[in-house]
A and B are shown apart, each in its own frame.
Chain A
């Protein structure tokens, strides 16, 4: 563990509280959006966008990815790439079916 002065750590805990408030607020926002009765496209895009922000907040601060080692980033970059392949390649194949 890298040496942090108690002062630094106290500062971090204040950040955690702010992140918590942001997460709570965004939860309310995303629920609010869902009552707007948007059409599917924008609704999905908005909901995913908000979820992405929330997820990034959790990962960046709670999982302290912001100050993580390069090696972890490398592992995660690979994982994200394969995750995207897993989501989009099957989807592509489904949308590109031969009729009949």
Chain B
């Protein structure tokens, strides 16, 4: 799906836990997530901390979308 979206010329960032799959499939901007059942959360944190964690990941995704890349790039931070 990432590729079909990008094929139309719209930049896309893939937030996912299993980065190697995303690389194999061909996503060009990748943000590693927390865990498979809760990619953008952590049930062990309290509500506010968890939302702050999610915000950090979404901001990283926006940063990835604002960054020109010339090859598949994993945005670790």
Report whether chain A binds chain B: no
